[in-house]
A and B are shown apart, each in its own frame.
Chain A
C-alpha cells in the first residue's frame, strides 16, 4: 500500500538552521522573507525557506499552526508541501521545495504582460484543477487561488502554494450550522479571507456562508489573469472591485474596454469554461472535478509544452526579484508594506488571517504596478476594513448602526445624512421592519459584549448556552450585512458624484446595483423573518421546559 511509498518519500529534513546554507533572498514582505537555500546534509538539495517573523503573529499562533499542519498533511503532486518547519529564534522557518521558475504572476509581469497563450493556460489551469479537486475532496478550501500562488518548476510541473488562509470545512467553527444536525450550512464558512480581486461574491457577502465553490470563482478570475496578464478590474482600487464584483457579471468585453490590444481573441470553449466558473450563483458553478472534464482541457499539452513556451529564456527568480527591487526600489517596499500596515494599524487579531497580512513564498512581485492590490488611503477602503473585520467572535461595533440600515437609495444626500427616509424611495418597503432588525441586532451586539449568561435583553431568551449565542451571532451578522450595504451605497454615491458626466452606462450600472441591493434586502427580510420564527420557537421550547 501507499504506506511504504510514503515513508520512502518522507525524507526527514533537518530541523536546525545550521544545516541550511542561504544563497539568496528571493522575496520579502513585511513579516516574512523568502530565501533560496541549500540543505547541505541532503545532497545540497535546493530549497526555498520562508522565514516568518512570529513576533507579529498572534500569541496562539493558530493561523501559522494551521498553515503548517495543512502543508504537512496534504500530499498531491500539484500541491506545494513543506519539507519541515521549525523556529529559529523569533522566526519560523518553513522549508519547501524550490520551484525554480517562480510564480505565474511573476512570469506574467516580467515576460508576458499581455497574458499567455491558450494552450499554455490550459496546461496550467488543468494542473491547478487537479490540485483543487484533491483539496476539495479533502474538505479544504484554498481561499486564495491566483496566479501568484501558482508556482512552476524548471521541468514545467505546476504546484499550488500558500495555504496561509486556507481552511477546512471539517475544522472550522461549526457552531453556526449546529453540527451534528447535519444541515448543509454546517459545511460553510463565514469568515472573510482571500485577496479582493479574486474574491467570490459570496465571500464578500460572507454572512450567507460560502463553501468550496468560492475557490472555483477565484479559479475563473485566475484564468482571466493568465489570459490578460492581470486580474479583471485591477485598474480599480480593490474595494471598488469588491463592489462591482457583486453587482455585475464579468464579461470578456470588460477587457476589451480596458485593454489597448483588442486583437486578442479567445476560443469559445475557453470563454465558456470561465463563464461557468464566474456564475454569481455558487451552486451553478461546476465542481473542480467536473471542470476537469470541460472540453477546454481536452487535448491539453504536457509540462514540456510549458518548458518550451513559457520557461525558455525566462529570467531567474533572483533576477526578477532584483530587477523589481532595483526598478521600484523604495516605493515597492512601501507599497508592499502599506497594505500590511493598514491592517496592522487596527491590530485586530481577527483580521490577521486575511491575505493582506500573509506573505507567501512567491508573492513578492511588486513590480506589477496596478496588478498589486495596494489599498488607497481614501475612505473607500473602509469597506474592506469593515468586511475584513467580520469574522470571528469579535464583531463590529465601530459605527453607529442606527442610520446605517436604510439609506440605500438616497442618492441626493451625501454620506452620513442618509436616514430612514431613504427607504421610502423604494417601493413596498417597510422602514419599521428594518429598524427592528437593526435594533435587535444591536442588542445582540451588546449581549455579546456582556457575554453574561442571560444575555441580550432584546432577544428574550432566558436560556443559556449556544442557543442564545447562535441567535446573537445571527443577529449580529444581520446587522453587519446591513452596515455593509450602507457602506456600498455610500461608495456608489461617491462614485456617482465623482463622475457627474452621467453616462448612460453608469446609470444602467446604478440601476443594476439598485436591483441587486433590493434583492438582497428581500433576502435579509426573509432571514430576519426566519430568525424571528426561530426565536419564537426557542421561546416556546424554553417556556415549555
Chain B
C-alpha cells in the first residue's frame, strides 16, 4: 500500500482526489473488515495532514502559492468540502483539527484571483446548516464552530486580494452573509450561547458577535428588518438571562451594536422603548461592576436622546434621585476621561428633567 503511493511524488491534485475517495469510503458503513478500514482511515488522516502542510507549510518549507491554487481548485471542482464537513465526525481528533485548519485556509485561497470557496458555499448553502447544527454536538462543536467563523469572515482576506478584487469579494461575501443572517439559524444562537459547556457556549458567542458586528451594512439591514423578534429575544433571553456570563456578553454586544454609526436608526428605535429602559436600569443595579459599566454605555443613549418619548422621561424623572445617587459614586477602576465626560453629560441631562 505504502509503496504504491510513494512511487512518485503525488501532486496536490492527486492528494485531494485521494482524500475525496477515502472520505467516500469513510462515509460508508463499516461493513468491511476492520483492519482494512483502519488502514484506510489512517491513510485518510495522513492525507488531510498533507493538505494542511501544503497550505500552511511547515518548519522546513513555505507554502507554494501554485500548489495551494491547484489544491483549492481541485477541492472545489467536486464536492470534497462537502464530504469533509459531513464525515468530519468519522475522523479522529487530530484529523478533525487538521481538517478545520484546511477548511479555514481554503476560505482565503484564490484561484485566478477569485475566492472560489465563497462561490462554492453560495451554491451549497446547506453546508452552513451542518456547521451551525454542530453546536448541538459536544464533540463536533468546536471544529464546526471554527469552520463556521471562517466562512462568515470572508472580508478579512489578504490585503492584495482586497485591493484587486474588492468589489467582487464584497458582493459575494455579503450575499453569503445576508443569507446567513436571515436564515432561521440566527435564532438558534440565542440558545447556543447559553449551553452549559463553557467552551462551546463561548465559541458560539464569538460567532454570534462576529455575525452582528462584521459587514456593517448587512447587519444594519438585518437589524431593521428583524427588529421586533430579534430584540424581543435579545432582551428576554440574553439581557435578562439568569446566567452572569450571558448577561455580561449581551450587554457589551448591545452597546457595540447600538453605538455603531451604521446602526443609528436601530439605536434610535431601541432607546425609545420603556421596556428596554427598564431592562437597562436593572442591569445598572447589578452587583457586578463590569455589567454596570457596560450597561451604562447603553443607558447613556437613552438619556442623551434629544427626542425622548414622554414615558421615557417619566421613568427617568421618577428615578431621578436614585439615578443621581448611583452615578455620584459610579467609577471605573482605572481613570477613563471619556467615561467621566459621558457620566457628567448623563447626570446633567437627568438633573435637568422636569416632570
B197–A170 touching, CB < 8 Å:
no
Since A85-B199, A90-B288, A139-B56 are in contact, a sample of 15 more A-B pairs with Cβ atoms closer than 8 Å, ordered by chain A residue number, is A1-B41, A7-B139, A54-B244, A69-B142, A73-B93, A86-B198, A92-B198, A92-B245, A170-B56, A180-B55, A182-B62, A184-B57, A346-B334, A467-B163, A470-B159
A18 sits at the interface (CB 8 A)? no
Q: Which residue of B lies closest to A91 (CB)?
A: B244
A1–B38 touching, CB < 8 Å:
yes
B68–A180 touching, CB < 8 Å:
yes
> B-side binding surface: helix, strand, loop or mixed?
helix
Question: Closest CB-CB distance, A215 to chain B, in whole Å?
Answer: 13
A11 sits at the interface (CB 8 A)? no
Offer 28 A-B interface pairs, CB within 8 angstroms, sorted by A.
A3-B41, A3-B91, A15-B197, A55-B289, A59-B249, A59-B252, A62-B206, A69-B142, A69-B199, A69-B203, A73-B93, A73-B142, A84-B198, A85-B197, A85-B198, A139-B56, A139-B101, A170-B101, A170-B104, A178-B158, A180-B108, A180-B158, A181-B158, A182-B62, A182-B63, A184-B62, A347-B332, A465-B166
Residues in A with CB closer than 8 Å to B97 are 73, 138
Residues in B with CB closer than 8 Å to A65 are 199, 202-203, 205-206
Q: Which residue of A lies closest to B194 (CB)?
A: A87
Chain A residues close to B by CB (< 8 Å)? 1-3, 6-7, 10, 12, 15-16, 54-55, 59-62, 64-65, 68-69, 71-73, 75, 84-87, 89-90, 92, 138-139, 170, 175, 178-184, 187, 212, 287, 344-347, 463, 465-467, 469-470, 541, 545
B206–A60 touching, CB < 8 Å:
yes
- Alpha-carbon distance A84/B196, docked complex (angstroms): 10
Complex partner residue of A180 from B37, B105, B199, B248, CB under 8 angstroms: B105
Residues in B with CB closer than 8 Å to A92 are 198, 245
Q: Which residue of A lies closest to B39 (CB)?
A: A1
B329 sits at the interface (CB 8 A)? no
Known A64-B202, A68-B202, A87-B244: A465·B163 in contact at CB below 8 Å: yes
B90 sits at the interface (CB 8 A)? yes
- Alpha-carbon distance A72/B244, docked complex (angstroms): 23
- Alpha-carbon distance A180/B160, docked complex (angstroms): 10
- Alpha-carbon distance A73/B139, docked complex (angstroms): 10
- Alpha-carbon distance A86/B45, docked complex (angstroms): 31
Residues in A with CB closer than 8 Å to B62 are 182-184
Chain B residues close to A by CB (< 8 Å)? 37-38, 41-42, 45, 55-57, 59, 62-65, 68, 90-94, 97, 101, 104-105, 108-110, 138-139, 142, 156, 158-160, 162-163, 166, 196-199, 202-203, 205-206, 209, 243-245, 248-249, 252, 288-290, 294, 332-334
Known A180-B105, A465-B162: A3·B90 in contact at CB below 8 Å: yes
Question: Closest CB-CB distance, A446 to chain B, in whole Å?
Answer: 18
- Alpha-carbon distance A467/B108, docked complex (angstroms): 17
Q: Which residue of A lies closest to B49 (CB)?
A: A137
- Alpha-carbon distance A311/B38, docked complex (angstroms): 40
A86–B197 touching, CB < 8 Å:
yes
Residues in A with CB closer than 8 Å to B38 are 1
- Alpha-carbon distance A526/B36, docked complex (angstroms): 57
Q: Which residue of A lies closest to B65 (CB)?
A: A182
Residues in B with CB closer than 8 Å to A179 are 108, 158
A178–B159 touching, CB < 8 Å:
yes
A87–B334 touching, CB < 8 Å:
no
- Alpha-carbon distance A469/B332, docked complex (angstroms): 31
A61–B56 touching, CB < 8 Å:
no
Question: Closest CB-CB distance, A55 to chain B, in whole Å?
Answer: 5
Residues in B with CB closer than 8 Å to A61 are 202, 205, 245, 249
- Alpha-carbon distance A10/B248, docked complex (angstroms): 31
Residues in A with CB closer than 8 Å to B244 are 54, 87, 89-90
Question: Closest CB-CB distance, B267 to chain A, in whole Å?
Answer: 19
Question: Closest CB-CB distance, A43 to chain B, in whole Å?
Answer: 21
Q: Which residue of B lies closest to A169 (CB)?
A: B56
Q: Which residue of A lies closest to B199 (CB)?
A: A68
Known A65-B199, A179-B108: A72·B158 in contact at CB below 8 Å: no
B199–A347 touching, CB < 8 Å:
no
B197–A59 touching, CB < 8 Å:
no
- Alpha-carbon distance A69/B141, docked complex (angstroms): 11
B202–A54 touching, CB < 8 Å:
no
B158–A60 touching, CB < 8 Å:
no
- Alpha-carbon distance A164/B254, docked complex (angstroms): 28
Residues in B with CB closer than 8 Å to A212 are 59
Known A180-B105, A182-B64: A187·B334 in contact at CB below 8 Å: no
Complex partner residue of A187 from B56, B109, B203, B290, CB under 8 angstroms: B56
A466–B249 touching, CB < 8 Å:
no
Question: Closest CB-CB distance, B169 to chain A, in whole Å?
Answer: 11
4 closest cross-chain pairs (CB), A and B: A466-B159, A347-B334, A65-B202, A59-B252
Residues in A with CB closer than 8 Å to B334 are 345-347
Q: Which residue of A lies closest to B291 (CB)?
A: A55
Q: Which residue of A lies closest to B251 (CB)?
A: A59
Max count, chain A CB within 10 A of own CB: residue among B94, B138, B142, B199: B199
Q: Which residue of B lies closest to A71 (CB)?
A: B199
Complex partner residue of A3 from B92, B110, B205, CB under 8 angstroms: B92
Residues in B with CB closer than 8 Å to A73 are 93, 97, 142
- Alpha-carbon distance A415/B6, docked complex (angstroms): 65
A59–B206 touching, CB < 8 Å:
no
Question: Closest CB-CB distance, A80 to chain B, in whole Å?
Answer: 15
Known A59-B252, A85-B198: A2·B159 in contact at CB below 8 Å: no
- Alpha-carbon distance A59/B249, docked complex (angstroms): 6
Residues in A with CB closer than 8 Å to B94 are 2, 75
- Alpha-carbon distance A85/B199, docked complex (angstroms): 7
A55–B158 touching, CB < 8 Å:
no
Question: Closest CB-CB distance, A122 to chain B, in whole Å?
Answer: 25
Residues in B with CB closer than 8 Å to A347 are 332-334
B196–A15 touching, CB < 8 Å:
yes
Known A65-B203, A69-B142, A92-B198: A178·B56 in contact at CB below 8 Å: no
Question: Closest CB-CB distance, B216 to chain A, in whole Å?
Answer: 13
- Alpha-carbon distance A244/B105, docked complex (angstroms): 40
A175–B156 touching, CB < 8 Å:
yes
- Alpha-carbon distance A122/B339, docked complex (angstroms): 54
Q: Which residue of B lies closest to A7 (CB)?
A: B139
Q: Which residue of B lies closest to A67 (CB)?
A: B199
